[in-house]
Amino acid sequence: MEMENMIGLTDLLAAAIRAWKQICVTMLVFALLLGGYQGYRQYKLATDPENSPEKIEERYQAALEDYEKRGEELQKKLEGQEESLASKEEYREESLLIKIDPYNKYITNIVFSFSNIDESAQLFRYPNTAADYLPKKIRSQYLELWKSMDVPRDLADGRYADLEWKYLNELISIPALEGELLSIRTMGASAKDAEDLAGAIFAYFDGHRDAIGRSSAAHELSILNQSTKYVIDEELKTKQESLDKEIEDLKTGIEDTKQSIEDLTEPEREDGYSVTAIVKSVAKYVALGAAGGLFLACFLVCCWWIFADRAANSFQLERSVGAPFLGAMKPSCPPAERLAAAVMGERRWRDPEQASAYIREQAEAGFPKEGKVLLLSTLPEGKAGAGMAGLASALEGYAVTSVLDALHDPKAVKAIQDCAAAVFVEMAGQSRLTDIRDLAAQVEGAKRPVLGVIAI
Alpha helix positions (H), 345-380 = 352-366
Strand partners, 118: none
Amino acid identity of residue 63, one-letter, is A
- Give the residue-averaged pLDDT of 446-450: 92
DSSP label at residue 107: E
pLDDT digits (tens, 9 = 90+) for 347-389: 666 677 888 888 888 888 888 878 889 999 999 988 887 778 7
Q: Which CATH number fits domain 314-455: 3.30.1370.60, 3.40.50.620, 3.40.1180.10, 3.40.50.300?
A: 3.40.50.300
pLDDT at 217: 87
pLDDT at 405 over 70: yes
- What is the per-residue pLDDT for 3? 42
Rounded Cα–Cα distance for residues 165 and 154 (Å): 11
Is residue 2's pLDDT more than 70?
Answer: no
CB 117 within 8 A of CB 138: yes
Nearest to 394, CA basis, from 418, 373, 371: 373
- Of the candidates 88, 85, 89, which has an alpha carbon nearest to the alpha carbon of residue 77? 85
Average pLDDT over residues 206-220: 89
pLDDT at residue 456 is higher than 90: no
Sign, Cα dihedral of 374, 348, 324, 319: negative
31 pLDDT band (50/70/90 cuts)? Answer: very high
Question: Using CA of residue 11, residue 17, residue 20, residue 23, what is the dihedral sign?
Answer: positive
Binned at pLDDT 50, 70 and 90, residue 83 comes out as: very high
Residues 262, 303: Cα–Cα separation, whole Å: 48
Query: CA 162, CA 152: separation in Å to the nearest integer?
Result: 7
User: 348 — phi, psi (to 5°)?
Assistant: -145, 145
Q: For the chain, percent helix, then strand, then coil, each to nearest 5? A: 60, 15, 25
| Residue 333 pLDDT greater than 70, yes or no | no
Once rounded to an integer, what is the mean pLDDT over residues 181-198? 93
Comparing 21 with 121, the larger pLDDT belongs to: 21
CA distances from 76 to 146, 158, 263, 307 (A): 40, 41, 16, 65
Alpha carbon distance 320, 384 (integer Å): 18
pLDDT band at 322 (very low <50, low <70, confident <90, very high): confident
| Sign of the dihedral defined by the CA atoms of residues 209, 213, 218, 222, in that order | negative
Reported confidence tier of residue 53, pLDDT bands at 50, 70, 90: confident
Q: How confident is the model at residue 343 (pLDDT cuts 50, 70, 90)?
A: confident
pLDDT at 357: 86
pLDDT by residue (tens digit) across 251-278?
999 999 999 999 999 888 877 677 788 8
Is residue 331's pLDDT more than 60? no
Burial bucket for residue 99 (CB in 10 Å: 0-12, 13-18, 19+)? exposed
- Reply yes or no on whether the pLDDT at 126 is more than 70: no
φ and ψ at 182, to 5 degrees? -125, 150
Q: What is the mean pLDDT of residues 1-11?
A: 56
**Which of the residue ranges 112-121, 196-205, 384-393 has the most confident prediction, judged by mean pLDDT?**
196-205
User: Distance between CA 135 and CA 139 in Å, rounded?
Assistant: 6
Q: Angle at which helices 433-445 and 411-418 pack, to 10 degrees?
A: 50
The more confidently predicted of residues 16 and 88 is 88
CATH number of 104-231: 3.30.70
> Is residue 4 scored above 60 in pLDDT?
no
Specify the pairing of strand 181-188 against strand 172-173.
Answer: antiparallel
**Residue by residue, what is the 3-state secondary structure of 54-76?**
HHHHHHHHHHHHHHHHHHHHHHH
Percent with pLDDT over 70 in the chain: 91
Contacts of 348 (CB under 8 A, 6+ apart): 328, 330, 341, 355, 455
**Per-residue pLDDT band at 92 (split at 50, 70, 90):** very high
What's the pLDDT band for 1 if we cut at 50, 70, 90? very low
Burial of 417 (0-12, 13-18, 19+ CB in 10 A): exposed
Of the listed ranges 114-123, 326-335, 405-414, the one predicted with least confidence: 326-335
Question: What is the spatial distance between Cα 443 and Cα 407, in angstroms, rounded to a whole number?
Answer: 11
End-to-end CA distance of the chain: 26
How many Cβ atoms from other residues are within 10 Å of residue 328's Cβ? Answer: 23
Every domain of the chain with CATH number 3.30.70 lies at 104-231
For residue 179, the model assigns a pLDDT of 73
**Which of 36, 68, 26, 80 shows the shortest CA–CA distance to 304?**
26
Query: What are phi and psi for residue 105, nearest 5 degrees?
Result: -105, 135
In the three-class reduction of DSSP (H, G, I as helix; E, B as strand; rest coil), residue 184 is classed as strand
At 293-317, the pLDDT tens digits run 999 988 888 887 777 778 777 787 8
Residue 155's pLDDT is 75
b/e string for 273-287 if b means 16 or more Cβ within 10 A?
A: beeeebeebbeebbe
With a CB cutoff of 8 Å and minimum separation 6, the contacts of 170 are 95, 96, 97, 187
Does pTM surpass 0.85? Answer: no
CATH 3.40.50.300 intervals, the chain: 314-455
**148 or 170: which leads in pLDDT:** 170
**The pLDDT value given to residue 244:** 95
What's the CA gap between 243 and 98, in Å, rounded? 9
